[in-house]
Amino acid sequence: MTSRYGVASEGLARRAYQRVEAQTTSQGQILLRLYDGAIRFTHQAEQAIEAGDPAEKGKYLGKAMAIIDELITALDHDAAPELCANLEALYLYFIHQLTVANTTMDAAPCREVIAHLTSLRETWEQAVKQTGG
């Protein structure tokens, strides 16, 4: 369906919804969604490796690494220097493991990263619940 201006109104509505959702979602919920995305994309990369599909593997590993990079960028070292240093080291390790998976077509590093991300997500989820954010 297009509007009277010739623009797809469905696309406009979706973008407007996404903009409002982003403005009203708490930082804790955004963090959990980032973890969900990183876990989902790493799992899809694992499946692509197991299926022998290097193009899909690369696509999904790239998306997972971009999210992990965003998690690194979001760290507030001034607020919690030790915690942020530890998380950054862990996130960099995840990127290293995903790079190994990418270059060797080995799904094992993906499974390791998924396990760690899942554990971290569960921990953050409890923190978000406790703080109400």
| Residue 38 CB contacts under 8 Å (≥ 6 apart), including other chains | 64, 67, 68, 71, 117
pLDDT in tens, 85-125: 999 999 999 999 999 999 999 999 999 999 999 999 999 99
**74 contact partners, CB below 8 Å, separation of at least 6:** 31
Residues 127 and 108: their CA atoms lie apart, in Å, by 29
Q: Where are the domains of the chain?
A: 26-131
Is residue 5's pLDDT more than 50? no
- Per CATH, the homologous superfamily of domain 26-131 is Flagellar protein FliS (1.20.120.340)
Distance between CA atoms of residues 51 and 41, nearest Å: 15
